[in-house]
Structure 1
Amino acid sequence: MTYSAQLYWSFRSPYSYLALPRLIALEDEYDLKFEVHPVRPLALRQPDFFQREHPKWLHYLLTDVARLAEHLGIHFAAPNPDPVLFDHDKNQAADDQPHIDRLTRIGVLASEQGKGLAALYAISKRIWSGQAWTEDGVLDAALTEAGLEPGDILARAETEADRLDGVIRANEDALEEAGHWGVPTMVYKGEPFFGQDRIDLLIWRMERDGLTKR
């Protein structure tokens, strides 16, 4: 019997990115499948988020993410460009979001084809490389690496935008119904496990339910 857990995930969350290698390794090690549910970043779901945070929050976040990446041995650099466009005068996300909307739709399409984790990782390691990930061919190469047909995926991200946006909103509603709002959040039998530092706790819970290694 294959066990499953829902994974709520955002392309702009550095913690989500840093969790991916461990989640992929767990699927290889255990009889386990993560059902990928991409959501928009909190900056879009809660536009006043950055206005409400403590002034030192961002500095701590950047410090923590950098040392976590070093600890895990994962290359990490600021994205170029940022997947979320900001209106710095208002200190919130801009109304028009060409990058993150497209990326999140691509994530949904990849998940629907059973390639969710592979696509998230292939794309994210390019976003967080510090290199110009929006250049021609970069996303194509990532999707090919994940075992997907880039021409099909990129075209459908445009032609099926309304349907995909509906799936994304449903994912966001399901995340809140499960009891959290942040990412990455894993949900098993309705119980949320928020944060990359709760992966071990999730596996502990599932092992108590009978999850075994392959």
Structure 2
Amino acid sequence: MTKAIDYFYTHISPWAYFGHQVFLDLAQQHGIEVRFRPVHLSGVFDASGGLPLARRHPVRQTYRLIELQRWREKRNLPLTIHPRHFPVDPTLADCCAIALAACGGPVAQFSALAFRAIWAEEGDLTDRDTVAGLLSKLDLDPLPILAEAEGETARRTYADNQALAIELGVIGSPCYVLEGEPFWGQDRLDLLADALASGRSPYRPV
């Protein structure tokens, strides 16, 4: 039976951007199914004691800026430290990914474009035309996908993803959950790789 990883992320997370392709390559290397689960972090933070960026202590906000520069260099990815359209509500882009996943569409490629749009190209992911342009780059008709993203089914899945994230102990984006064991942060991908390579049983709280 093929193993699967639940991939919880939101497109306004620079850390998910840094880890996106590295994670996908790792999953492909090990023949792992990826279950894409875009999630709004508001309820996740409320349940886990996390804080949105603007409410964090200034020392933590400053340290984040240093880490962004380190990981930009480490991953060799373009990144605007202070993008024009951040923070914004990620619901439209996140739900487009949900709609694509539901129909077997190119969700991984869409998310890569969405990450790059906000973090490297000053794109506004709340703007319908901007998101439509990303879908068009994938040779997709954007109108039906946007309609699905704005519809009840995708929004219900978005809420379900949040509830599942809370149940599984997800505390931020990205989080990769393998057999119930969460790996929070793209800086834990080496540990996820070790777990996949060894085939060990998942760790549980003791």
**Corresponding residue for residue 51 of structure 2:** 49
Q: CA deviation at 1:157?
A: 2.0
- Of 102, 120, 143, the residue aligned with 1:129 is 120
Alignment partners' CA distance in 1, 2:135 and 2:156: 22
- Of 66, 69, 86, the residue aligned with 1:66 is 69
The answer to whether the Cα contact below 8 Å between 2:41 and 2:162 also exists between their aligned partners in 1 is no
**Corresponding residue for residue 35 of structure 1:** 35
The answer to whether the Cα contact below 8 Å between 1:12 and 1:41 also exists between their aligned partners in 2 is no
How many residues align? The count is 194
**Corresponding residue for residue 203 of structure 2:** none
Cα pair distance change 1:184/1:44, threshold 3 Å: closer
**Corresponding residue for residue 146 of structure 2:** 154
Structure 1 unaligned blocks of 5 or more: 85-96
Cα pair distance change 1:54/1:82, threshold 3 Å: closer
Output the amino acid matched with 1:74: L
Q: CA deviation at 1:185?
A: 0.6
Map Cα deviations across residues 101-144 of structure 1 (whole Å, 9 max, x no partner): 21221121122133332211111111111424457754234224
Task: Please provide the CA RMSD for this pair.
Answer: 2.7
SS of aligned partner of 1:49: coil
Cα pair distance change 1:177/1:58, threshold 3 Å: same
Name the % identity: 24
Provide the TM-score with structure 2 as the length reference. 0.81
**Corresponding residue for residue 187 of structure 1:** 177
The answer to whether the Cα contact below 8 Å between 1:43 and 1:49 also exists between their aligned partners in 2 is no
Cα pair distance change 1:55/1:200, threshold 3 Å: same
**Corresponding residue for residue 20 of structure 2:** 20
The answer to whether the Cα contact below 8 Å between 1:42 and 1:182 also exists between their aligned partners in 2 is no
Map Cα deviations across residues 21-69 of structure 1 (whole Å, 9 max, x no partner): 2022224433122111001134885498247632211111122012201
Alignment partners' CA distance in 2, 1:108 and 1:186: 17
Cα pair distance change 1:43/1:175, threshold 3 Å: closer
Larger deviation, residues 46-55 vs 125-134:
46-55
The answer to whether the Cα contact below 8 Å between 2:14 and 2:115 also exists between their aligned partners in 1 is no
**Corresponding residue for residue 111 of structure 2:** 120
Provide the TM-score with structure 1 as the length reference. 0.78
The answer to whether the Cα contact below 8 Å between 1:127 and 1:133 also exists between their aligned partners in 2 is yes
Please show how residues 194-205 of structure 1 align to structure 2 within 5 Å.
Answer: 194-205=184-195
Larger deviation, residues 148-157 vs 187-196:
148-157
